[in-house]
Amino acid sequence: MIGASRRSISSVARSTRCFAPSISTSSSQIPDSRSINGTESAQGPRFSARWFSLLTAPNSNRAANPKIRSSLLISNRFDSTAAAVGSSDPPVEKFEYQAEVSRLMDLIVHSLYSNKEVFLRELVSNASDALDKLRFLGVTQPELLKDAADLDIRIQTDKDNGIITITDTGIGMTREELVNCLGTIAESGTAKFLKAVKENQEAGGDSNLIGQFGVGFYSAFLVSDKVIVSTKSPKSDKQFVWEAEANANSYTVREETDPEKLLPRGTRLTLYLKRDDKGFANPEKIENLVKNYSQFVSFPIYTWKEKGFTKEVEVDDDSSKSDSSQNEGGEDTSVEKKKKTKKVIEKYWEWDLANETQPIWLRNPKDVTTAEYNDFYRKTFNEYLDPLASSHFTTEGEVEFRSVLFVPATRKDDLIKEKTKNIRLYVKRVFISDDFDGELFPRYLSFVKGVVDSNDLPLNVSREILQESRIVRIMRKRLVRKAFDMILGISLSENRDDYDRFWENFGKFLKLGCIEDKSNHKRLAPLLRFFSSHSENEFIGLDEYVESMKPDQKAIYYIAADSITSAKNTPFLERLVQKDYEVLFLVDPMDEVAINSLESYKEKKFADISKEDLDLGDKNEEKEKEIKQEFGQTIDWIKNRLGDKVASVQISNRLSTSPCVLVSGKFGWSANMERLMKAQTHGEPSSLEFMKGRRVFEINPEHPIIKELNVASRTNPDNLEALKAIDILYDTALISSGFTPDNARELGGKIYEMMSVAYSGKWRAPSAEVHPDPPRTLETIEAEVVEPPRTPETVEPEAVEPTDVRGQK
C-alpha cells in the first residue's frame, strides 16, 4: 500500500514501497457468513481472526527504559534508540523524523488537505501500487507469490472504536525500507514540495497538491491520531511494525511476534481515527468513498459489510394448539390449526466487492455493446435514462489517453453553469477530480458527460496544473472535437426526433458556443436549428436552408422577434414572401446574437431583413431614379417633420401592402435586440440611446396614403392634417416594426381623435326632419364642431332645428 511510488516526482515511498495486506485464506475460501471477530457461524466454518481483527491492536507502550543504540543508526538524519525490555518481547527502536518530514506532516494536517476524504484514495492507491509491483516482479521471480496467491485489497472498520484497517497482499517492506520510506524524504523532493506549497498558498490557489510529490501515505494523519503499519516482505523472514502518532516527532519500529497478527505477505495499515473523524469508520461511508475514488482500480477491493436476509420463524401461541371435540358417537374430530410464523431479518458480516464496475474505456470499442455503454453511463452518473449518444475512443501519439463521452437525454439544470461534475478525470484508473471550470471542456459543452483516463498526468492534479499543462490543452482540443462528432452523429440520425430532443434540451448551449468560441464556428453552425417562414412547426438546419435557396437569392435572410406569430406578420416579410424567399425566424433571445457571431455560412452571408440596405437581388436603377425624382420633395418634407426621430427617409424595396416601415441602422440594434437590452437589469441608458439613434423611415411609393401625402407635400405642405398624418404614420410604423413607442399616451390620444372624427354621428338614429349627412370632405371636417353625445336629460324642451355644415335646415 505504501509500495513503489506511482509518481514521477520524488515520493515518500520511492521504488521500495510495498504496502499490501495479505490474507492467509484465498477469497474463495472465505465463508459466506461470519462475525467480525471470526467466530464460527451457521454459514461457514470457524475463520481465523488474525488478519482482520481490529480489536487486538499492539500496545505501543510496551517498551520501557529506552537507551541509545548507535549501532542501529540508518543514517545521520536519525537518532535511533532501542528499549531494554524483557527477554520475551522484541526490542523497540525509536527514530526521530527527518526535519523535513516533521514540517511536511504539520502542513498536511493543518493546511495542505482541504478535503479529508482523499486519505482513503491515497492509501488505496498505495496498496494498488504495491500489488502492481509484486505482479511485475512475480513474472521473473515467481517465488514471491508463493505465500498468498490472491492479489486484493481489504478494508475493515470498527465503527464503535473508530478504527480502519486496510490490508493488501502486495510486496510489503523490510525493516530498512520502513525507515527509509516512512521517515525520510529525498532532499530534492522535499525542497521542491515545500517550495510549491508556499508558492501555491501565496497565490491563493487551492491547497490540493496531495499525491503530487509522493506524500500520499502521510494523508493518513489527516483523520488519525495514531497509525500502525504492519508489513511483511517476501524478501524477509520477519514482519515489522511501524508506529507513530500525529503530533509526535518520532516513530518506533519493532518486530512482530504475535502469531495472530502475522502476515504471509503484504501490509496492514491500522488507523486510529480522531474524535471528530470517527464517522469515516462507518462501513457505508467507506464503501461510498471506494466507489467514488477507487471504483476502477485494477485489483479487487473488498469491504467488511453487514448484510441480512429474511427468513420465517415460528411463533409460540397457545391458541395454535389442536382443538378436540367429540361427536355424539364418541369419535374424535380433532383439527390441527396451521402454526403461526413471522418474518425476521438475520444479519451477518462478510466481505463485499466494492469495485465491481469494470473500466469500460480500457476495452476495445468493438467488443462493447450499446447495452453495456448505457449500463455504465447510468451507474457512473446516477442517471435513469439512456444517453442519446456515446463516443469511445483512444488517443495516441503526443498525448495518450482513453475516454468515453456521453450526451445526456435530458437537462437537469435550466442554467448554463460554469462548474459541473460531468467529466470524471482518472489517472491510471484512480479517480482524481470532477470539479472543473472549463479546463477539459468549454462552458458551452459542459452538458457532455464522460470519463477521461490519462497516464501522462500526475496522480494528483491541482487547478494550477490543469490550467498550465500543455498535456491538458491537447486533451481539451481532442475532447471537444470528439464531442462535436458525437453531436453531429445525432443530427444525421434517421430518427429526427432524437435531434429535436437534443435541441430542446441543449440548443442554448450551442448558441452560446457560437458567441464564445469563434474557432469552432464551422463545427457549430451545422448543428443550429431554427423555425422559418416555410417551416413554422418544425426546426430546420442551415444546410436545409441553403439547399432550398432560390437561384437568384444572395443571402440567408432572417428576422428576430419575440414569437413566431410576430415574425410571420411583420411588414418586413411582404416582398420576400412574394418572391418565395425563405426567412429564418429567430424567436429565442440568444438566436440573434448567435447568428451575428457567425456572420456567414457556406459563403452565404446572413442578412437581417429589418435593417437598412436590404438587397433582394432585383434592383432597377432607372426605376429607382424615377421614383426618387417623383418623391424627392415628399422625402424631404417627411424628414423635416420627423426631425431627429429618424436618421433618414428612403424609398423602400421590401414593402408591398404597408405604407411605411421603420428599419434599424446597418450597424445598430434591431427592434428585437433593443427590446432585450432594455429588459436587462444593468442596461445603461446612454448606450441604449446611442444604439437606437440610427433609424430609417422607409415609405412605399405604391401605397395610396403615400401618394396622397406626395400631393400634399407639393400643394399644401403646411396643412395641419397632412402633418398629423405623418406623425400617425411614424407611430404606427414604430409599433408594426417591433419598436416601443416613447409616449404611448400621446399615440393613444391621436388614435382616439381620428376615431372620433371618423365615426362621429355614423351610428346616430336618423330623424324624419333630419336630412342624411352629405359626404364628408376635408373642408367639412375642419368646419365641423364635435359635440359630446346628447342624452334625453340634456335636450331642452324647445329643440332647435338641425342645420348641416352648409347652413341648410
User: pLDDT of 629-679, one tens digit each?
Assistant: 899 999 999 999 998 888 899 999 899 999 999 998 888 788 888 888 877
| Amino acid code (one letter) for 133 | K
State residue 59's pLDDT score.
37
Query: What CA–CA distance (Å, rounded) separates 381 from 421?
Result: 9
What per-residue confidence (pLDDT) applies to 459?
59
Does the pTM surpass 0.75? The reply is no
The C-alpha angle 180, 186, 191, rounded to 5 degrees, equals 145
108, three cell numbers:
498536511
Handedness of CA 503, 505, 507, 510 (dihedral sign): negative
Looking at residue 155, what DSSP letter applies? E
**Cα(201)–Cα(110) distance, rounded to whole angstroms?**
13
DSSP code per residue over 436-486: BSSSSS-GGGTT-EEEEEESSS-SS--HHHHHH-HHHHHHHHHHHHHHHHH
**From CA 613, how far away is CA 611, in angstroms rounded?**
7
What's the CA gap between 125 and 111, in Å, rounded?
Answer: 22
User: What is the C-alpha separation between 287 and 719, in angstroms, rounded?
Assistant: 89
- Contacts of residue 58, defined as CB under 8 A and 6 or more positions apart, other chains included, come to 228, 230, 241, 243, 256, 258, 261
CA 749 to chain centre: 53
Question: Integer distance in angstroms from the first to the last C-alpha of the chain?
Answer: 118
Q: Is 779 helix (H, G, I), strand (E, B) or coil?
A: helix
Q: C-alpha grid cell for residue 99?
A: 526535519
CA distances from 546 to 288, 583, 603, 716 (A): 53, 11, 10, 50
Closest CA to 214 of 402, 501, 446, 458: 458
Say which residues have a Cβ less than 8 Å from residue 594's Cβ, sequence separation at least 6: 511, 512, 514, 515, 528
To the nearest 10 degrees (0 to 180), the angle between helices 118-140 and 283-293 is: 60
Could you say which residues of the chain have pLDDT below 70?
Answer: 1-89, 98-114, 147-149, 183-215, 317-338, 413-419, 458-468, 681-693, 765-809
Q: What pairing do the DSSP bridges indicate for beta strands 648-651 and 695-699? A: parallel
CA distance 422 to 446: 7
What is the per-residue pLDDT for 621? 83
Which residues are 392's β-sheet partners? 404
Residue 789 DSSP code: P
- DSSP code of 211? T
Residue type, 288: N
Q: Look at residue 201 in the predicted model and tell me its pLDDT.
A: 55
